Amino acid sequence: MNLNTDFVDKLRNSGLRPTKQRLKICEILFDNDKTFHFSVKDLSKIISQKLGEKISLATVYNTVHAFEKKGYLKEISINSNQTYFDTNTSSHHHFFDEKEKKLIDLKNEDVDPINIKKTIPGKKIKSIEVLVKLDPDNY
């Protein structure tokens, strides 16, 4: 298990103990090369499917927030009844499929750079995010 030792290192290097719960969540989140967008509910479902053992919901929340704090996950701004996270922590924009409730990454080249011409005294720009909502073609 080459990957597993990678995750152990990743966690240790972040000051997080490599527990089996965290390693399992790492495998789900970071084992593939694709960006993964998810809610805690999504993640819990995947865990209970791919896993013999259960991980407590509190632990899933703890882990996701720990990973977010360490910069391995990013929270995404969409209006929903639940919070979404993103394994792509770079600054990027999204489609949001309102029917499927799924986020889709937009690549940098898919959107021209956003230039904000207004400034607010005493404030600086922290992030610029474009959210493109999608509906079915016929609607």
For residues 89 and 71, the answer to whether their CB atoms sit within 8 Å is yes
Q: Whose Cβ is closer to a copy of itself: residue 51's or residue 78's?
A: 78
- Residues 64 and 20: their CA atoms lie apart, in Å, by 14
Q: Which residues of the chain form contacts with a copy of itself (CB under 8 A)?
A: 75-79, 83, 95, 97-98, 104, 106-107, 109-112, 114-118, 120, 122-137, 139
User: C-beta of 56: minimal distance to a copy of itself in Å?
Assistant: 22
**SS3 for 105?**
strand
Q: Whose Cβ is closer to a copy of itself: residue 57's or residue 128's?
A: 128
- Comparing C-alpha atoms, which of 89, 38, 84 is closest to residue 25? 38
61 binds, among a copy of itself, Zn ion, DNA, none (CB under 5 to 8 A by kind): DNA
